[in-house]
C-alpha cells in the first residue's frame, strides 16, 4: 500500500497513458513477484505447486477471486484503474481534512 500511495498521485483518469506509468507498473510487478516468491519460499511451495493450486481455485469463488487479483498485477489497465482510484480516494480525504480544518 505504501508503494501505491506514493505513486498513485502520478495517475489521472485521462485516456492517454504516460511513459512514466509503464515504469511504475513494472516496479510494482517486481515488488509483488518478490513478495510472492518470498512467501512461497517460506512456505516451501514450488512454482508447480503454486500453479496447481491456482488451477484448482477455479472451483471455489473465493479462491478464484484471490487468484484473479494476483494475476491482475500483470494487467497494466487493471493497475492503472487501481492507481487512479487510490489517487481519487486520497484527494477526497485531503479535501475533507482541509474543510474540517477550515471550520476550526
Cα gap 2→6, rounded to integer Å:
6
Domains annotated on the chain, with CATH? 2-46+75-103 (1.20.1520.10)
pLDDT band at residue 5 using 50, 70 and 90 as cut-offs: very high
pLDDT tens per residue, range 39-92? 999 999 999 999 898 888 888 889 888 888 888 889 999 899 999 999 999 999
Q: What are the angstrom distances between the C-alpha of 94 and each of 6, 31, 40, 89?
A: 15, 27, 38, 9
Quickly tell me which residue has 483518469 as its cell.
Answer: 13
Amino acid at each position: 500500500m505504501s508503494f501505491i500511495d506514493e505513486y498513485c498521485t502520478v495517475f489521472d483518469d485521462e485516456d492517454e497513458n504516460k511513459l512514466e506509468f509503464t515504469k511504475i507498473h513494472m516496479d510494482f510487478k517486481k515488488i509483488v513477484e518478490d513478495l510472492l516468491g518470498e512467501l512461497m519460499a517460506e512456505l516451501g511451495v514450488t512454482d508447480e505447486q503454486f500453479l496447481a493450486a491456482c488451477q484448482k481455485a477455479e472451483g471455489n469463488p473465493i479462491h478464484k477471486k484471490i487468484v484473479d487479483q494476483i494475476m491482475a498485477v500483470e494487467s497494466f489497465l487493471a493497475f492503472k484503474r487501481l492507481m487512479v482510484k487510490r489517487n481519487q480516494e486520497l484527494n477526497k480525504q485531503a479535501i475533507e481534512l482541509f474543510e474540517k480544518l477550515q471550520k476550526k
